[in-house]
Structure 1
Amino acid sequence: MPGQKSDDASVLTPEQRLTPENLDVLRACIVTIPDIETARACVAYENAHQNREPILRRLAQRASELRDEK
């Protein structure tokens, strides 16, 4: 993944989460988003850089899951 490397999924940057070419890795990066703030940052990054509708839908779904968990 681009940018700095980390073994802790909670500290991945939006760029690191949303740039894998492999769809399965990309999905895993979204599923492991730990909190709403990270989800919002990922949505902002996606809107500014690639604006892929399927990815934005997955991010919205993850944000909804996070809200339901609280």
Structure 2
Amino acid sequence: MSNPESDDANTLTPEQRLAPENLDLLRACIVTIPNVQTVQACVAYENAHQNREPILRWLAQQAAELRAK
């Protein structure tokens, strides 16, 4: 039985999470972020590279949901 905290989805880099061109896939990559630290890394990556406002909003929403848990 695998541990959900060690799945490959939890080991994606910010670059891998934010690379998909398909918005549905990109959104899926964001909502599966497991912790606030990963969200912060993705925000830093996005700010340094593409700085897309909708993506930054999705990341902020994911961070808020993780903090609420």
TM-score by length of 1: 0.88
- Between the aligned partners of 2:36 and 2:68, the Cα distance in structure 1 is 11
- For structure 2, which runs of at least 5 residues remain unmatched after alignment? 1-6
The structure that is helix-richer by fraction is: 2
Rg larger for: 2
Q: CA RMSD in A?
A: 0.9
1:32 deviates by 0.2
TM-score, normalising length: structure 2: 0.89
Aligned counterparts of 1:13 and 1:43: Cα–Cα separation in 2: 12
4+ residue runs of structure 1 moved beyond 6 angstroms? Answer: none
What is the total number of aligned residue pairs between the two structures?
A: 63
**Long gaps (5+) in structure 1:** 1-6
Question: 2:9 and 2:51 mapped to 1: Cα distance?
Answer: 23
